Structure 1
Amino acid sequence: MSTPVSPRTLRAGLVLADPNSGSTQQVIVLQYSPESLSRSLQPQAVGAESGDRVDALRLKAPPVETYKIDAELDATDQMATAAGAPNGLLPQLAALEMLVTPSVSTLRSNQALAMAGTLEIVPVMMPLTLFVWGRNRILPVRITEYSVTEDAFDPQLNPIRARVSLSLRVLNVNDLVPGSRGSELYLAHQSQMEALARKFAYGSAADVGLTR
């Protein structure tokens, strides 16, 4: 009797894309997919602000959606290979931190502009970040919080075990340029959610004690 083959488990990650063309620049695959994630949706209602009763059921925009994940990193297995892990987990942590940090060349360029007397320096344009959690969730996001706890170290004090916490705010059509790669990905995700909702077996009024 053959042993059943377990389906390959996809890994979660973050994809960096060019904000204009949408082409993939870098992919950060999480070493272990988090065992859980939490998310929240804050409806953007009109009635609470206007006080007008006709607006009580109106929505002015998509909800503000946030994700929170905790990821485990461990360099133990890598240390046992021929290549080893001479810097521990620092490369992985640095790659994540670069998602929220402008490059040195950009900072130097802005410094030069400031020293030259430039009155208005355009904020730094970062790559479009996509949060990928399986094929049903590919979302443009902004990292709103990044924290790391380093739990163990090698003799050179490089971290070899760490826990990373990420808070991600989903960027919707109100945040992104219409027709841009990020905006289209958000709309594609919402279309997918609508299709999934149609697969749900809704009940009847009688199921909850209503007569009509």
Structure 2
Amino acid sequence: MEFKAQPKASHFIDGEYVEDTDGTVIESLYPATGEVIARLHAATPAIVEQAIAAARRAQPEWAAMSPMARGRILKRAAEIMRERNRALSELETLDTGKPIQETVVADPTSGADAFEFFGGVAPAGLNGSHIPLGQDFAYTKRVPLGVCVGIGAWNYPQQIACWKAAPALICGNAMVFKPSENTPLGALKIAEILHEAGLPKGLFNVIQGDRDTGPLLVNHPDVAKVSLTGSVPTGR
């Protein structure tokens, strides 16, 4: 059976699409009609481990790069998103049910803005501070956290993927991102674009899943930071 928005595979890990059909089936519906537009699989524990291991391996070398070099990659990703705005907007409409009149002016463009903004602040905004204390002084140094997890929501899926990825990546972190199971498609395209823009593999990974997948991510000992968009009960 063919689906109009079927991705190459369910997950994007270490720079490539990855599938594990042992995971629970996730049917992606076009909300305007109820049509099944893609069929994916939730991440198994093995997929979660694979994604976090890729992020952990890639992060130190990325952190050692200058903020200027990291910023160039994010700004290139912003350019690609703008070049492909129509296709990304159509996918966002299928994913969310929003009218194309909205997605074409608001969704991928806002994500591109996030990449451009954080790419631009990198040269000057990531330095530490020199603090005079009378005859003495103190200084601060900004250092990356390591592996970050992003958990998205259904209402602005492409934007949220960019909003979470951009500050994490520009500061030298790696990210494993789980979109909402209701809108699983857009984040995979964001991962593709970041990779095409020059982001080294393993730094932005996308895995699918539901309420059973989130705890595997947030409780993992190698995860240093979690960014969640969702309700208070979900956060708890």
Higher helix share: 2
**Which one has the largest radius of gyration?**
1
**Which is richer in strand?**
1
For this structure pair, what is the TM-score category when the shorter chain's length is used for normalisation?
under 0.3
**TM-score scaled by length of structure 1:** 0.24
Structure with the bigger RCO (C-alpha within 8 Å, sep 6+) is: 2
